[in-house]
């Protein structure tokens, strides 16, 4: 049985429908792949990049960066290269901080040899505990524009100084900061030096001490009150007790400048009235300063200073007086001579050449004024120091023994010599040792005062 062929139009419709179905079957997945596969690819690439970045960062910070940092620490001068600086700023910026090594105030003397490099200087500073990081020091050198210009010489530094301050100090430059130094009344020269050594000043203390112990002629000639200073004498007694501010570093902090300032302060306080009073007593300025230095160590109450000065001045000016025969009988001069002989500070003018053994760094740790253990006349002194044995040698000691305040020098200028005082002894009024003394003009009266003081001070 035969089938009639479908009309041509119907055939075309079926064929086109079949083609569309095939096309849809073929194109449908393609369109879906075009929508999905690029996203997957992008995600895959992004994930790969992120993983790679993580591995790179992790590997760099964990393994590579520490090795780079170790290399920079071994080559601190490399910080001058921008790339190295950028790395350090990123990885360990704290190491570049301009911070002091510690808060411990101590003096460290370093010697920078001629031709020393910035790197070798940094190594020296680190070895001495003056900086925490060579890199920080090199960074301070570079940022200050002082590469290769640090000076050779001897410097006194402290771990309390910041790297930038140390760089300035090594060039003798001021960095705008000051420190206070207090010189107390009655300090001997070694104690004065120790007071400066305990400060933040960067001047070399050995050079400073040498200038005080053996002042050069050009300094002596600047000040008229030193005109009659005997040859070979130190500036003992000519340093005024006071508190002054000094630049930590720079031209004004150098030893010569500081010595000149100290002498200028002394000269400004030595008024014409005081000078005239000293001359009226028949004394030279140096003799007055010697007496004032003893008064400073003896007096406790200000009102008594002129009378104590009168006792010593009368004894000095009356060598023929049978009661005193020119002997000062001053315990402080014995203390001075005794500790000088025992400690033998380097550079002391009355010690034999090469005899000094106590270095400048040790001067601040000594008790320079111990109580005498025997009576005055029995205190043994070295032959070169016998001039300080004022119980057996008449006249003044060969030099001042301490730094007198201007009030003690004025006490010498205004001492009531006419009252005839030759003796004094510490008393205990109402059973209390208050620093006061009993004064007398005769030995008999003095012995009575001694008995009175012993009775009052029993148990003190």
Residue 2 pLDDT level (bands cut at 50, 70, 90): very low
Min mean pLDDT across 20-29, 131-140, 163-172, 425-434 is at 20-29
Say if CB 222 and CB 266 are below 8 A apart: no
pLDDT of residue 412 exceeding 90, the answer is yes
Say if CB 240 and CB 265 are below 8 A apart: yes
Averaged confidence pLDDT in the chain? 87
Q: Report the pLDDT value the prediction gives residue 107, as an integer from 0 to 100.
A: 87
Residue 7 pLDDT level (bands cut at 50, 70, 90): low
pLDDT of residue 101 exceeding 70, the answer is yes
Residue 42 pLDDT level (bands cut at 50, 70, 90): low
- What pTM value is reported for the model? 0.80
Domain 93-173 has CATH 3.90.550.10: no
Say if CB 313 and CB 417 are below 8 A apart: yes
Which residue has better confidence, 22 or 292?
A: 292
Q: Report the pLDDT value the prediction gives residue 49, as an integer from 0 to 100.
A: 66
Determine the Cα–Cα distance for residues 422 and 441; give it in Å rounded to an integer: 5
Q: Give the rounded percent of residues in the chain with a pLDDT score beyond 90.
A: 61
Say if CB 193 and CB 348 are below 8 A apart: no
Q: Running DSSP on this structure, what letter comes out for residue 61?
A: I
What's the chain's Rg over C-alpha atoms?
42
Percent of the chain as helix, strand, coil, to the nearest 5 = 55, 5, 40
Average of pLDDT values for 86-100? 79
Residue 258 pLDDT level (bands cut at 50, 70, 90): very high
How do residues 193-202 score in pLDDT, each as one tens digit?
999 999 989 9
Average of pLDDT values for 430-457? 92
pLDDT of residue 155 exceeding 70, the answer is yes
- DSSP H or E stretch at residue 86: helix 82-91
Say if CB 247 and CB 253 are below 8 A apart: yes
Determine the Cα–Cα distance for residues 367 and 338; give it in Å rounded to an integer: 11
> Checking phi first, is residue 336 left (phi over 0); if not, alpha (psi -120 to 50) or beta?
alpha
Q: Which residues contact 194 (CB under 8 A, 6 or more apart)?
A: 363, 364
Average of pLDDT values for 417-432? 93
Q: Report the pLDDT value the prediction gives residue 396, as an integer from 0 to 100.
A: 98
Residue 307 pLDDT level (bands cut at 50, 70, 90): very high
Say if CB 231 and CB 220 are below 8 A apart: no
Say if CB 109 and CB 204 are below 8 A apart: yes
Helices within 198-304 (DSSP H only): 205-213, 217-220, 255-269, 272-280, 285-298
Residue 100, judged by CB atoms within 10 A of its CB (0-12, 13-18, 19+), counts as middle
How do residues 118-132 score in pLDDT, each as one tens digit?
889 999 999 999 998
- CA-based nearest residue to 169, from 148, 155, 180, 179: 155
pLDDT of residue 44 exceeding 50, the answer is yes
- CA-based nearest residue to 135, from 195, 90, 73, 82: 73
Ranked by mean pLDDT, which of 150-164, 370-384, 397-411 comes out on top?
Answer: 397-411
Residue 58 pLDDT level (bands cut at 50, 70, 90): very low
Say if CB 137 and CB 85 are below 8 A apart: no
How do residues 207-256 score in pLDDT, each as one tens digit?
999 999 999 999 999 999 999 899 999 999 999 999 999 999 989 999 99
Half-sphere exposure of residue 28, counting CA atoms within 13 Å on the CB side? Answer: 6
Q: Give the rounded percent of residues in the chain with a pLDDT score beyond 70.
A: 83
Whole-number Cα distances in Å, 278 to 106, 255, 266, 418:
42, 31, 16, 15
Give the dihedral of Cα atoms 138, 141, 142, 143; nearest 10 deg: 120
Q: Which residues contact 236 (CB under 8 A, 6 or more apart)?
A: 188, 189, 212, 293, 399, 400, 401, 402
Q: Report the pLDDT value the prediction gives residue 40, as an integer from 0 to 100.
A: 62
Average of pLDDT values for 419-426? 96
Determine the Cα–Cα distance for residues 73 and 330; give it in Å rounded to an integer: 62
pLDDT of residue 408 exceeding 80, the answer is yes
pLDDT of residue 29 exceeding 70, the answer is no
Q: Report the pLDDT value the prediction gives residue 55, as an integer from 0 to 100.
A: 41
pLDDT of residue 106 exceeding 90, the answer is no
Average of pLDDT values for 290-304? 97
Determine the Cα–Cα distance for residues 300 and 19; give it in Å rounded to an integer: 127
């Amino acid at each position: 049985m035969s089938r009639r062929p479908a009309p041509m139009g119907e055939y075309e419709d079926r064929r086109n429908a079949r083609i569309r179905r095939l096309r849809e079957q073929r194109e449908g997945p393609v369109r879906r792949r075009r929508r999905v596969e690029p996203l997957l690819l992008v995600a895959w690439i992004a994930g790969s990049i992120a993983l790679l970045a993580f591995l790179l960062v992790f590997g760099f910070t964990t393994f590579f960066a520490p090795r780079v940092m170790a290399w920079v620490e071994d080559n601190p001068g490399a910080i001058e290269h921008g790339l190295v600086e950028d790395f350090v700023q990123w990885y360990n910026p704290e190491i570049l901080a301009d911070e002091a090594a510690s808060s411990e105030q101590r003096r460290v003397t370093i010697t920078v040899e001629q031709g020393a490099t910035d790197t070798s200087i940094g190594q020296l500073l680190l070895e001495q505990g003056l900086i925490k990081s060579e890199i920080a020091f090199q960074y301070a050198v570079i940022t200050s524009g002082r590469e290769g210009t640090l000076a050779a010489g001897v410097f006194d530094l402290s771990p309390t100084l910041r790297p930038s301050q140390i760089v300035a100090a090594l060039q003798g430059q001021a960095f705008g900061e000051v420190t206070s130094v207090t010189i107390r009344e009655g300090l001997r020269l070694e104690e004065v030096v120790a007071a400066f050594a305990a400060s933040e000043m960067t001047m070399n203390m050995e050079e400073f001490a040498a200038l005080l112990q053996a002042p050069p002629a050009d300094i002596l000639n600047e000040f008229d009150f030193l005109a009659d200073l005997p040859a070979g004498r130190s500036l003992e007694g000519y340093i005024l007790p006071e508190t002054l501010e000094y630049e930590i570093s720079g031209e004004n902090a150098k030893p010569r400048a500081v010595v000149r300032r100290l002498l200028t302060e002394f000269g400004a306080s030595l008024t014409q009235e005081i000078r005239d009073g000293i001359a009226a007593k028949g004394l030279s300025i140096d003799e007055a300063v010697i007496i004032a230095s003893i008064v400073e160590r003896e007096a406790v109450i200000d009102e008594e200073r002129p009378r104590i000065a009168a006792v010593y001045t009368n004894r000095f000016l009356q060598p023929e007086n049978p009661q005193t025969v020119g002997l000062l009988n001053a315990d402080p001069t014995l203390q001075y001579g005794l500790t000088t002989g025992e400690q033998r500070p380097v550079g002391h003018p009355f010690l034999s050449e090469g005899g000094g053994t106590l270095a400048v760094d040790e001067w601040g740790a000594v008790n320079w004024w111990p109580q005498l253990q025997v009576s005055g006349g029995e205190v043994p002194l070295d032959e070169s120091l016998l001039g300080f044995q004022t119980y057996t040698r008449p006249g003044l000691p060969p030099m001042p023994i301490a730094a007198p305040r201007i009030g003690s020098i004025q006490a010498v200028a205004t001492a009531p010599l006419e009252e005839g005082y030759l003796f004094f002894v510490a008393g205990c009024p109402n059973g209390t040792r208050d620093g006061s003394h009993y004064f007398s003009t005769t030995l008999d009266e003095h012995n009575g005062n001694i008995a009175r003081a012993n009775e009052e001070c029993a148990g003190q």
